[in-house]
Structure 1
Amino acid sequence: MNRIDRLSAILIQLQGKKIVKAAEIAERFNISLRTVYRDVRALQEAGVPVGAEAGTGYYLVEGYHLPPVMFSREEAAALLTGEKLMANLSDHSNRKEFSNAMQKIKAVLRGSEKDFLESLEDNIAVVSRRPPVGEEFPNRFLSDIQHSLGKQLILQLDYFALHNETHTKRDVEPIGIIFMNGYWHLIAWCRLRHGYRDFRMDRIKNVGVSADNYDKQRHITLKEYMDRYGEYETQAHMVKIRFPKTHARRIGDQKYYYGLVEEQLINDECIEMTFLAPCLDWFGRWLLIWGSIPEIVTPVALTEKMQELALEIKAHYL
């Protein structure tokens, strides 16, 4: 990147945040701190009102705005891809807001870029395997949760816990959101349970944003939570189960709630399903519903767990 393009990009970066550290600029453009200082000084000499706070970073003086930004063809294509992803992987609230933002972005594109996007529109698709969400769980709270995170406001949740099929009301202090295994998760300090909890957003029945603030300094960061509690991929068990085709159809949407990631037709009579199961005991108790019909391909630990559960049931009824 030549210096003129870099200066323009630094100016856009400064407009995007309240304070930008010199180290952030250096890392983004792979330049030294000395070069950052020279570039900022060049912007100041060109009349751009860049202020500096010792030990904090740089900022643009309040009221200064760039003229409309022009996008390259590659940037426009990346934004279109983002719109497709948002349409399938976000919730109703964010989907609408992103669509509105894209309309504004398209309005400032040059004619050639607009033509390019129109030709590309029908050639990008994102397919989601998530089951449809019932009316009880409207899946439209992501914007409210983002607002709560930005303003440090307490959230009031009406939440359905799948493991024990109970509805509870929770007052929570959000620390972040994660998109994982096809679902959005709210990570928050739960005042009811007095601990950090993972709330899957498609199980939230209703959300209220309180006027009361919480002190985010009292909590760990989202990264610290993920490092401490969130070893999701390493903790999950890869499970492969084979069902006769006639019974596979009866499972319906249940398979999604138990972590289905893939279905494969083995032959005319058999389907193999692959799951990521966070807990073999929980998964095994669901598998008991189907009696001797399913065949466990892997892991051996699940077969042993099913033997334990079968003996547990036998002992109970004896």
Structure 2
Amino acid sequence: MNKTERLLAIVMELQRSKLLTADELAEVLGVSIRTIYRDMQALSEAGVPIVGETGLGYSLMEGFFLPPISFTVQEAVSLLLGAEFVEKRFDPTYRKSAHSSRRKIEAILSRPIREETNRIQGSISLIQKDEMAVMMREKVNLGSIREAMLKGKKLRFTYHKRVAGTDGNRVNVRTVSPFGLAHDEQNGWLLVAFCDLREDIRHFRVSRISDLTVTEDTFQIPDNFNLQSYRPKDTRSIRVCAIFNSEISDKVEEANNYYMETAESKEDGYHVTFRVRQPEELLSWILGWGADVIVTEPESFKNRIREEIEKMKNRY
């Protein structure tokens, strides 16, 4: 990285972060602190409004903004795909903003870059399963959840939870303090919140929430909570073992079941171990493989599968 590139990188880092020390900038750019001091002097002489606060670090004067810069094809595609994802999976407010952002990005791309970006985008598709249902069950709630998080207000809603091993749902009303939103490929949007009923942090699928309201009760996120580093408690304690036909081992692997823990090819088949809260969580998935799988343990789950097969036979 030459000096010009380094000076530009410093301005971009300061534009992204409100305050950075010389040590932090030196570490990010891989140079000495003395070099950072010289670069700061050069930027100031060039008219860039750098503000140095003794003991705190450097920042850009309020209102300064670096003019748009050119993107590579890969950078442009990444940004546009990200905007498309937000358009498809967020609430109307963010969907509108994402659409506007995408149009602005496209507007500043040079013609060759824009044409190449359009060509690559045309070969990539973000497939949505049951998009209309997702819109009805998730998008309608996301705006209210964001509002509650921004205002520090609690949420009250009816939660529909599937009960393993039955044909019905368990429905109850929850009052929660919304700590954040997370997106899971299998479960969609998840609300991470402190549940007053359980007196602990719980996860709620946004698609299973109805009658959502923002209450007047306030809350504060604990100082020691960080959504990015938070990991939920793993309560899966039951082990389920199954042997699949070796010929479909690649399909089983591609299915990437959430509960799959280990998998190994042996002479008699593809041995897979699952870890679940209740074996019934795997019932429909296991039955979907038909005669190409046999459950070896626990015995109680083997009996449960036999019962389900008998029910199926009687229906036919």
TM (normalized to structure 2)?
0.67
List structure 1 segments (4+ residues) > 6 angstroms apart after TM superposition: 234-242, 274-277
Secondary structure of 1:225's aligned partner: coil
Distance in 2, Cα, partners of 1:129 & 1:237: 30
**In 1: Cα distance, 2:134 partner to 2:302 partner:** 35
- Deviation readout 1:62-103 (Å, 9 max, x if unpaired): 222222343333321221232344455x23434443222111
Q: Which residue of 1 aligns with 2:293?
A: 297
> In the alignment, which residue of structure 2 is the partner of 1:245?
none
* C-alpha separation in 2, matches of 1:236 and 1:3: 59
Q: TM-score, normalised by structure 1?
A: 0.67
AA aligned to 1:127 is I
- How far apart are 1:116 and its partner, in Å? 2.5
Q: 1:102 to 1:306 in 2, by over 3 A?
A: same
Q: Structure 1 residues 51 and 276 mapped into 2: Cα distance closer, same or farther (>3 Å)?
A: farther
Choose the corresponding residue for 1:221, options 218, 226, 232: 226
Give 5+ residue unaligned stretches, structure 2: 164-168, 245-254, 261-271, 308-316
1:11 and 1:154 mapped to 2: Cα distance? 37
**Alignment correspondent of 2:268:** none
Do structure 1's residue 306 and structure 2's residue 310 form an aligned pair? no
Alpha carbons 1:259, 1:277 under 8 Å: kept = no
Distance 1:204 1:186 in 2: 10
Q: Deviations along 1:261-282, whole A, 9 cap, x unmatched?
A: 9xxxxxxxxxxxx997742434
Unaligned ranges ≥5, structure 1:
243-255, 262-273, 313-318
Report what 1:246 is aligned to: none
CA shift in 2, pair 1:276/1:137, >3 Å: farther
Residue type of the alignment partner of 1:100: S
Partner amino acid for 2:106?
Answer: K
Secondary structure at the aligned position of 2:8 is classed as: helix
CA separation in 2, counterparts of 1:275 and 1:180? 22
Root mean square deviation, CA, Å = 4.4
Corresponding residue for residue 127 of structure 2: 127
State the SS of the aligned residue for 1:78: helix
CA distance in 2, matches of 1:55, 1:278: 52
Specify the SS of the correspondent of 1:65. Answer: coil
1:135-178 Cα deviation digits (max 9, x unpaired): 762434445544544x3522414242423423444333233332
Per the TM alignment, residue 198 of structure 1 is displaced from its structure 2 partner at its CA by 0.9
| Cα distance in 2 between the residues matched to 1:310 and 1:166 | 23
1:3 matched residue in structure 2: 3
Does the alignment pair 1:185 with 2:190?
A: yes
Separation in 1, partners of 2:158, 2:146: 18
Contact 1:238 1:299 in 2 (8 A): yes
In structure 2, what residue type is equivalent to 1:204?
A: I
Where 1:137 maps in the other structure, the secondary structure is helix
Distance 1:40 1:27 in 2: 15
Q: What amino acid maps onto 2:161 in structure 1?
A: L
Q: CA deviation at 1:120?
A: 2.7
CA distance in 2, matches of 1:22, 1:206: 51
Question: Structure 2 vs 1, CA of residues 186 and 138 (structure 1 numbering), >3 Å: closer, same or farther?
Answer: closer
1:153 maps to amino acid: G
Preserved contact between residue 185 and residue 198 of structure 1 (Cα < 8 Å):
yes
Query: Equivalent residue for 1:98?
Result: 98
Q: Is the 8 A contact 2:195 2:202 kept in 1?
A: yes
Question: For residues 182-241 of structure 1, what are the alpha-carbon distances to aligned partners after superposition, in whole Å with 9 as ceiling and x for unaligned?
Answer: 322221212332211111222222544456653324452224531xx3569x98978879
1:197 is aligned to: 202
Q: 2:58 corresponds to which letter in structure 1?
A: Y
Return the alpha-carbon distance in structure 2 between the equivalents of residues 41 and 144 of structure 1: 47
Asked whether the equivalents of residues 152 and 220 of structure 2 are also in contact (C-alpha less than 8 Å), the reply is: no
**Cα offset for 1:132?**
5.8
- After superposition, the Cα gap between the structure-2 partners of 1:217 and 1:310, relative to the gap in structure 1 and judged at 3 Å, is closer
Moved more, 181-190 or 39-48: 39-48
Cα separation, 2, equivalents of 1:306 and 1:219:
40
Structure 2 partner of 1:67:
67
Q: By how many angstroms is 1:306 displaced?
A: 1.0
Tell me which residue corresponds to 2:50: 50
Cα distance change on mapping 1:58 and 1:86 into 2, 3 Å = same
Cα gap change, 1:236 to 1:80, in 2 (>3 Å): farther
Percent identical residues: 27
Aligned length: 280
